[in-house]
Amino acid sequence: MIIKFRFSRVRYQLIMPPTIHQLADRYLNYILVEKGLAQKTIESYSRDIVRLLDFLKLKNIGAILEIDTRVILQYLTHLRSSGLGTSSRARHLITLRGFFRFLVQEKIIEHNPAQVVELPKRSHKLPDVLSPDEVKLLLSAPDPTSPAGARDAAMIELLYAAGLRVSELIGLKLHDVNLEACFTRVFGKGSKERVVPFGRYARQSLDIYIRHARPSLLKTFTSPFLFVARAGKPMSRQGFWKLLKRYSLKAGITKNITPHTLRHSFASHLLEGGADLRAVQVMLGHVDISTTQIYTHVARKHLKEMHKKFHPRG
């Protein structure tokens, strides 16, 4: 530990170096104020750093200069032993790289110990998708004659029609949807805005919900959110998840359906129908096209099955 001395005519004062916790607070304040990252991103970074601090306490590491590449590797091994998957461990490492890069900029440390550590290689597991017939069964499961059923039908239709993330769906405001032009404005990861079109079926469901069901659900309450639950509160992720599970059982679908399943199905069905990969990338809100390309594997699988089934020598 380095101790600096500040001398004066009368006395000297010990200036202690900042603790790891203090440096972590400075970094989180930096990405909040100067980097302007989204609140959810800040919360994710904060959780990652808190987990690192817990690990350092476990290892009796109390000074920032004690953290080297060996410690970073031990930490990643610890995360894997704790059951974290490849993607989660990669995110943790990205958080650490940013934290130590900040400390280098602030001249707290000389080198970034996390920079030379390679990101865990992600397995390209094909996403689960529904067939078009299964999607039809799911979309027909809600009862549109009841206010709650009309809301649920509109939510599922829009989720599939626009390929939204569930967080984007429940975060929609009433003014984000343009029924006349059939598009919705979406704020995705990092608060990045995009405009996504939807078809006539979603438009019809949304029109019924907005004009009739939504006022019945709100009663005397008001809400800026498009999809509302009790007392004007926005629909929650957990609430929608339970609804989707219930409707999948009602439709007789045996696959394990999540809100993301409909997003996967949206992308796969577009590509199978001949849509341009770049267009699908824009609609999904993917920054890197390599993220979208995983769906081409699903499309190729479908084409191979069609060839085998219908080609004379398939």
* Strands of the 183-187 sheet, one edge to the other: 177-178, 183-187, 193-197
* Torsion of the alpha carbons at 167, 168, 173 and 179, rounded to the nearest 10: -140
Helix-, strand-, coil-residue percentages of the chain, each rounded to 5:
60, 10, 35
Residue 305: per-residue pLDDT: 62
Locate 301 and state its tokens: 């699988």
pLDDT tens profile 111-136: 999 988 888 766 555 567 899 999 99
- What is d(CA 128, CA 1) in angstroms, rounded to the nearest whole number? 52
Higher per-residue pLDDT: 235 or 271: 235
Model confidence at 24: pLDDT above 50 = yes
Domain(s) of CATH 1.10.443.10: residues in the chain:
132-310
Which of 242, 270, 255 has the alpha carbon at shortest distance from 160? Answer: 270
User: What is the fold of 132-310?
Assistant: hpI Integrase; Chain A (1.10.443)
Indicate the pTM of the whole model: 0.60
| Vertex 76: Cα angle to 74 and 78 (nearest 5) | 70
Catalytic residues: 165, 189, 260, 263, 286, 295
Residue 109: per-residue pLDDT: 93
Domain(s) of CATH 1.10.150.130: residues in the chain:
19-105
Residue 51: per-residue pLDDT: 94
pLDDT tens profile 185-221: 988 776 778 888 899 999 999 999 999 999 999 999 9
**Separation in Å, CA 53 to CA 50, 117, 274:** 5, 19, 49
Q: For residue 173, which phi and psi values (nearest 5 degrees)?
A: -100, 160
Model confidence at 18: pLDDT above 90 = no
Residue 117: per-residue pLDDT: 87
Model confidence at 31: pLDDT above 50 = yes
Q: What CATH number should be reported for the domain whose range is 19-105?
A: 1.10.150.130
Torsion over CA: 75, 76, 78, 82 (sign): positive
Could you tell me which residues are beta bridge partners of residue 185?
195
- What is d(CA 313, CA 90) in angstroms, rounded to the nearest whole number? 45
